[in-house]
Amino acid sequence: MARVRYVTKLEQIKQLSDSEYRRLKPVADKYAFRASDYYLKLIDWSNPDDPIRRIVIPHIDELREFGDLDASGEQTNYVAPGCQHKYPHTALLLCNEVCGAYCRFCFRKRFFMPGGNETERDVAPGINYIRKTPQITNVLLTGGDPLMLSSRRIEAILSQLRSIPHVGIIRIGTKMPAFNPYRIIDHPQLTATLSRYSTREKRIYLMVHFSVPQELTDRAMLALDMLMKCGVVVANQSPIIRGVNDDPDVLAELMRKLSFVGVPPYYFFQCRPTVGNEPYELSLVETYQALEEAKKQVSGLAKRARLVMSHETGKVEMVGLSNEHMYLRYHRARDPKNEGRFMIFHRDDEAYWLDDLIPVQYPPHPVHTHGHREHHAIGPE
Ligand code: SF4
C-alpha cells in the first residue's frame, strides 16, 4: 500500500484555521493546490514564514495582477503535440500534466488550470519527430512530473527513445525525491527500468528540484542514493524564490548539502514573471547578490551552477554586476547567431526580466575596441 497520500483540497489541511482557509480558498480555486502528506509534515506550522509552507500553501498575494501565463513563450516551441524543440540539440517531451505537489511559483501553472492541454499522454508524434531529426542528441522528459506516470509507462517511453541511435542523453525533470521519495524507495520496477536504460554509453540524467535544505530528509537522501546506484546521473536545479531560499545562508546550506550527497547544483533560475508569482519574485539584482553571497560560503564543487533566466530568446546567464552595469550572456540561444553573445545593460535594481533592461548602446567602452576581441555591448535583437 502506498505510504504517501496526495492532498488536493485545502480543507484537508487541519493546521489551517477556518479564517486562513476562507482567505486562501479563492487562491486555490484560481491556481491549483496539491501536496503530499509526506511533504506537509515537513512544515513547521508554528512559523507563518516556513519555507516549505511557502512552496506549496497558497498565498493571498498570488491574486495580485502580475506577469504572463506563459512567461517564457513556450507556446512558440511546439513542433508536434507534446513536443517542444527550441535549441538544436534538445527536445522536450511533455508527457504528464501532474506533479507530486504544485509549487506555488511554478512557471507552468497553466498546465494545472482548466483548459491546460499542452501535455500529451501519447508521445508517439513527439518521438517520431525526434527520430527524424538527427541533430537532437538530448531529450528531456518533463511536464508536470514524469515520475508520476506508472513505471510501465516510463519504461515504454524510455525503450522507444533508446531505439533512436542519435539520442544520447535522456533527462527526466522531477521533484519527486523532494515531494514523495517513496516513489523511488518503494518502486523497484522504476529503479530497475532506470538502471536498464541508463547505460555505460548513454546515461539517464535525473534533474531533481530541491529548493531548501529541509527537503533533503533522510528518506530523500536514500532515494537519491538509490537513483545514483542505478547508474543515473543526478543534478539539481531550482529557482531562487523570495521567502524560500533568497537568504544566502539558506542557499549556501542547500548547495553544501547537495554537494555532500553528490547531487551538484546545475542551474539556479531567475523566477519567471508568471501570473500569480508576484509574492515569490526577486529582482535580477537581488537574485544575483543572494547567489554570489552564498557562493562565498561553499566549496568549488558546490557552486558550479549557473544563474540563468529562461527567456523566450534563450537561456541568459547573469555573469556580473557593477555599480552601473549588469553583464549577461546567452548560454543557449534560439537564434544561433546569439549563441554565447555577451551583453551589457544599465543597472536596474527593479528589473525582473531581460525585457525590463535597457542595453548600453554604442560606442562600446574603449577597453572593448582596443582589445583583441570586440564586444558588442547591446541587448537581444
Ligand atoms: S515540480 Fe516543477 S512543474 Fe511541478 S509544480 Fe513544481 S515547478 Fe511546476
Would you state the pLDDT for residue 203? 98
What distance in angstroms lies between residue 250's CA and the mean position of ligand 1's atoms?
21
Other CB atoms within 10 Å distance of the CB of residue 291:
23
pLDDT tens per residue across span 258-297: 999 999 999 999 999 999 999 999 999 999 999 999 999 9
CATH 3.20.20.70 domain range(s) in the chain: 74-267
Number of H helices, E strands in the chain: 12, 14
Task: Check whether 103 has a pLDDT greater than 70.
Answer: yes
Would you state the pLDDT for residue 26? 97
State the average pLDDT over residues 342-359: 96
Query: Does domain 74-267 correspond to CATH entry 3.40.50.1370?
Result: no
Task: Assess contact for 281 and 271: CB atoms under 8 A.
Answer: yes
What distance in angstroms lies between residue 367's CA and the mean position of ligand 1's atoms?
43
What distance in angstroms lies between residue 98's CA and the mean position of ligand 1's atoms?
9
Buried b (16+ CB within 10 A) or exposed e, 223-232: bbbbbeebeb
**Ranges of H-type helices in 145-247:** 151-162, 176-179, 182-185, 188-197, 218-229
Buried b (16+ CB within 10 A) or exposed e, 343-377: bbbebeeebbbbeebeebeeeeeeeeeeeeeebeb
Task: Check whether 381 has a pLDDT greater than 50.
Answer: no
User: Cell digits for 229?
Assistant: 546506484
pLDDT tens per residue across span 177-199: 999 999 999 999 999 999 999 99
Sign of CA dihedral 217, 223, 226, 231: negative
Would you state the pLDDT for residue 361? 76
Q: Ligand 1 atom 7: the closest Cα is on which residue?
A: 106
Would you state the pLDDT for residue 377? 46
Q: What is the longest distance spanned by two Cα atoms in the chain?
A: 70
Task: Check whether 366 has a pLDDT greater than 50.
Answer: no
Burial (CB < 10 A; 0-12, 13-18, 19+), residue 49, is exposed
Cis, peptide link before residue 340, omega less than 30° from 0? no
Task: Assess contact for 148 and 98: CB atoms under 8 A.
Answer: yes
Task: Assess contact for 150 and 67: CB atoms under 8 A.
Answer: no
Higher pLDDT, 239 or 114: 239
Would you state the pLDDT for residue 1? 63
Give the nearest ligand 1 atom to 179 CA: 1
What distance in angstroms lies between residue 369's CA and the mean position of ligand 1's atoms?
45
Task: Check whether 365 has a pLDDT greater than 90.
Answer: no
pLDDT tens per residue across span 36-74: 999 999 999 999 999 999 999 999 999 999 999 999 999
Q: Which of 62, 93, 102, 171 to mutate to test the pocket of ligand 1 (most atoms within 8 A of CB)?
A: 102
Residue 212 has φ and ψ, to the nearest 5°, of -140, 155
Task: Check whether 379 has a pLDDT greater than 70.
Answer: no
Task: Check whether 376 has a pLDDT greater than 50.
Answer: no
